Amino acid sequence: MKTDGLGFPRDLHYLVEHDVWARLHGDGTATVGITSLGIKLSGEIYMCRVKPVGSEIAQGRAIAVVELAKAIMSVKCAMSGVVLAVNSRLEDEPELIHRDPYGEGWLARLRLVDPGADRGRLMNGDDVHEAMARHAAAFDQE
């Protein structure tokens, strides 16, 4: 699968194997969501349900459930934290995830538990596009 034309903003941190991202804020919080590659791999999302405010989520564990045309899948979280806010617009407008995955299509905002420990599994900057291309190529072999 090609990643040409897919955007991976350099200021975000990516948990590549789960196709999710985190935008770190200076106040110990992060906004998290699904990458453009994750959206391309999954297809159209008909429903998105994010875990409620107050839920504690570990890095790599489910933060949301999405309903696709032929499956229901969990969305993993890029970083560990406690859910402070969820994007309630996704209940009525799940297409926001497709239209603007790094903006209006965000899933949740977290109060981070241990960002230093989580950062070891995350990628950012120039290496992300190449890592995503390798990750996408694995789906061509299946």
What is the pLDDT at residue 5? 66
Domain extents in the chain: 13-114
Q: Say if residue 40's pLDDT is above 70.
A: yes
Tens-place pLDDT, residues 48-88: 999 999 999 999 999 999 999 889 999 999 999 999 999 99
Answer yes or no: CATH 2.40.50.100 is held by domain 13-114: yes
> What mean pLDDT is predicted for residues 107-136?
90
- pTM of the predicted model, to two decimals? 0.91
Q: Say if residue 110's pLDDT is above 70.
A: yes
**What is the 3-state secondary structure of the chain?**
CCCCCCCCCCCCEEEHHHCEEEEECCCCEEEEEECHHHHHHHCCCCEEEECCCCCEECCCCEEEEEECCCCEEEEECCCCEEEEEECCHHHHCCHHHHHCCCCCCCCEEEEECCHHHHHHHCECCCHHHHHHHHHHHHHHCC
Q: Say if residue 141's pLDDT is above 70.
A: no
